[in-house]
Amino acid sequence: MAVIEARALAKSFRIPSDRRETVREHLFNAFRPRSFERLDVLRSVSFDVRKGETLGIMGRNGSGKSTLLKILCGIYRADRGDLLVGAPLTPILELGLGWNPELDGIDNILLLGTAMGLRLREAKNAVDEILAFAGLDRFANVPLKHYSSGMASRLAYSVAFKTVREVLVLDEIFAVGDAEFRERCEARYRELSAKGHTVVLVSHDPRVISAFCSRALLLDEGRVAFEGRGGEVVDEYSRRVAMASPGPALA
Amino acid sequence: MRGSVTAAGTRVDVAGLLWTLARTDFKTRYHGTFGGFLWALLKPALMFVVLMSVFSFIFATSPNYRLNLIVGLFLWDFFAEATKTGLTSLHAKGYLLAKTRFPSWILVVASASNALLTLAVFLAIFLAYLAFAGRAPGAAAAALTLFYLVLFFAITVGISLAGSVLFLRYRDLNQVWDVAVQAGFFVAPIIYPLEILPERFHFWLYLWPPTPVIQFCRAVLVDGVLPTARANLLLAAMAAVILAVGVLVFSSQVADAAERL
């Protein structure tokens, strides 16, 4: 049974020749025509995600991965195409940024936790566990502005892992923190997957895609260029990267 | 043409999120102390002292001038403060919008919490003063005051909802609104009694939403006069229209909000 059905999703961004972001600019330039450049980030993307499976998405920078995830999560709106998401979905995106720097760890956990769907009581009960998972117990009362970017990302992952509903959408997971924290994330991810959660994950890391994904897509210029088992997609990705660059294929 | 999206609902603890937003807002603004909050009450209080010292001489014939002035000032302060923070609320909390999907109107409503708290504290002090002076409002007057405040809140939320999404398009809208608010302070009869203006202008002044709210609150709290049912209905209709327009503008624009942050 498909939990996510995406049909011919398309998204482009219109980039104006001159930006008008203020009332003043709009008024003074009202009669001056401006041109737009269209950037087609997604041209037509179709796929299904079945219940309980982990679908990987690979692709070079600018291939549309992050835009696709944002559309899946309802943060961006597709221009065309149909999307059906049959179960509540937890996004874990762009975690490095996005905290209130003036608030301490606990308040930020409560804020993000309730925004991501925890009840306030649940969020309060989970604070210790979240801080422990992130390895940040000692920094609970320190304002986020004093955290390093790695610490902030770890905290975000920990909150997100706690708020998981049915479908988990992950952008570049396991790219954060030290080896120990990555290990903990992977263990937590395996636990969720074993419980039958559906996962969509984007990664550049061949190891992650082949180890975790039963199926994967390769995005190229806003289309699904290749679809297959995790290992097959990694091979295809490596082949394309090798073709595109004269140097050694993969780090 | 827009793509069609069918997504399973994401339940959010609206009350819990509102409370967390309001509490953390208070904390960042006043460093979590009540002393810091009292400091914020000083602004309208000082305004009151200065304006009263000057204008109570000019309007010496108006018996309730001081009470009217302070009611007007605090209601106005609520309106100005709530709409200004409401306007930038989505932008200010963009870090949440870019990360997850939740009903973002909550951010706009929560942004008024601080102004609401200031107004509540003022009202408590003001009512205590009235009771002390033997002028405590009756049940009908108290109920009507509450009714007006609910309408006033609806008006500010309506303006904030529309403003918050438009601000993402027009980044100087807050400056435009600042000018409007500054001019609006003099359009509303705050420092002068409405009666000094020719009656033919009154209708137009009443179209500026704070005017009827301030006038009606003064009538019930200070003068002990209850506005007519028709007047109350008109104010309710005005609040409903402003809120409805705000909701319409907001819902037509909010889907693109994360792209404009």
Q: Which residues pair with A36 in a beta bridge?
A: A16
How do residues B66-82 score in pLDDT, each as one tens digit? 899 999 999 999 999 99
How do residues B22-55 score in pLDDT, each as one tens digit? 999 999 888 777 788 888 788 888 888 888 888 8
CA distance A191 to chain B (A): 23
**Is B203's Cβ below 8 Å from some Cβ in A?**
no
* Residues of chain A by 3-state class (helix, strand, coil), percent to 5: 40, 30, 35
Least confident of A28-32, A212-216, B142-146, B201-205: A28-32
Residue A43 near residue A10, CB atoms below 8 Å: yes
Name the residue among B19, B100, B169 with its Cβ closest to that of A115. Answer: B100
**Is A70's Cβ below 8 Å from some Cβ in B?**
yes
CA nearest A156 in B: which residue? B99
**Is B179's Cβ below 8 Å from some Cβ in A?**
no
Phi, psi at A195, each rounded to 5°: -75, -5
pLDDT of residue A251: 44
Number of Cβ within a 10 Å radius of residue B229? 8
Instruction: Flag whether pLDDT at B4 surpasses 80.
Output: no
Amino acid letter for position B19 = W
pLDDT of residue A249: 47
Contact B3 A81 (CB under 8 A): yes
A160-190 as b/e: b if 16+ CB within 10 A: bbbbbebbbbbbbbbebbeeebbebbeebbe
CA nearest A91 in B: which residue? B100
Instruction: Flag whether pLDDT at A172 surpasses 80.
Output: no
pLDDT of residue B9: 61
How do residues B154-191 score in pLDDT, each as one tens digit? 999 999 999 999 999 999 999 999 999 999 999 999 99
CA distance B201 to chain A (A): 30
Q: Kind and range of the H or E element at A44?
A: strand A36-50
CA distance B138 to chain A (A): 39
CA nearest A112 in B: which residue? B96
Which chain B residues touch A26 with a CB distance below 8 Å? Answer: 170
Which chain A residues touch B26 with a CB distance below 8 Å? Answer: none
Number of Cβ within a 10 Å radius of residue A76? 21
pLDDT of residue A95: 60
Counting every residue written for chain A, the total comes to: 251
Contact A107 B19 (CB under 8 A): no
**Is A100's Cβ below 8 Å from some Cβ in B?**
yes
How do residues B225-246 score in pLDDT, each as one tens digit? 999 999 999 999 999 999 999 9
Least confident of A16-30, A153-167, B122-136, B185-199: A16-30
Cα B55 to Cα B73: distance, rounded to the nearest angstrom: 13
CA nearest B170 in A: which residue? A22
pLDDT of residue A96: 54
Token pair 């200065």 is at which residue? B50
Considering the entire predicted model, what is its pTM? 0.90
Name the residue among B9, B95, B255 with its Cβ closest to that of A98. Answer: B95
Contact B6 A111 (CB under 8 A): no
**Is A14's Cβ below 8 Å from some Cβ in B?**
no
**Is A16's Cβ below 8 Å from some Cβ in B?**
no
pLDDT of residue A97: 56
**Is B261's Cβ below 8 Å from some Cβ in A?**
no
Average pLDDT rounded to a whole number, residues A209-216: 91
Average pLDDT rounded to a whole number, residues B135-160: 96
Average pLDDT rounded to a whole number, residues A112-122: 92
Phi, psi at B242, each rounded to 5°: -65, -45
CA distance A58 to chain B (A): 21
Name the residue among A85, A100, A114 with its Cβ closest to that of B16. Answer: A114
pLDDT confidence tier of residue A98, bands split at 50, 70 and 90: low
pLDDT confidence tier of residue B6, bands split at 50, 70 and 90: confident
Cα A91 to Cα A168: distance, rounded to the nearest angstrom: 6
Contact B27 A24 (CB under 8 A): no
Name the residue among A73, A74, A120 with its Cβ closest to that of B20. Answer: A120
**Is A125's Cβ below 8 Å from some Cβ in B?**
no
Which chain A residues touch B101 with a CB distance below 8 Å? Answer: 73-75, 91
CA nearest B5 in A: which residue? A83
What is the overall mean pLDDT for chain B? Answer: 91
CA nearest B26 in A: which residue? A103
How do residues A233-246 score in pLDDT, each as one tens digit? 999 999 998 888 76
Instruction: Flag whether pLDDT at A150 surpasses 70.
Output: yes
Instruction: Flag whether pLDDT at A183 surpasses 70.
Output: yes
Token pair 């009443």 is at which residue? B206
Which chain A residues touch B5 with a CB distance below 8 Å? Answer: 74, 77-78, 82-85
Instruction: Flag whether pLDDT at A3 surpasses 80.
Output: yes
Contact A120 B15 (CB under 8 A): yes
Q: What distances in angstroms separate CA B230 from CA A31, B226, B233, B238, one per listed residue? A: 46, 11, 5, 12
Smallest Cα–Cα separation from A199: which of A183, A215, A184?
Answer: A215
* Residue of B1, B2, B13 to mutate, interface with A, max A Cβ within 10 Å: B13
Instruction: Flag whether pLDDT at A74 surpasses 80.
Output: yes
Q: Is the dihedral of CA B46, B47, B49, B53 positive or negative?
A: positive
* ipTM score assigned to the predicted complex: 0.87
Cα B168 to Cα B25: distance, rounded to the nearest angstrom: 21
pLDDT of residue B60: 79
Contact B7 A114 (CB under 8 A): no
Which of the pair, B45 or A41, is modelled with greater confidence?
Answer: A41
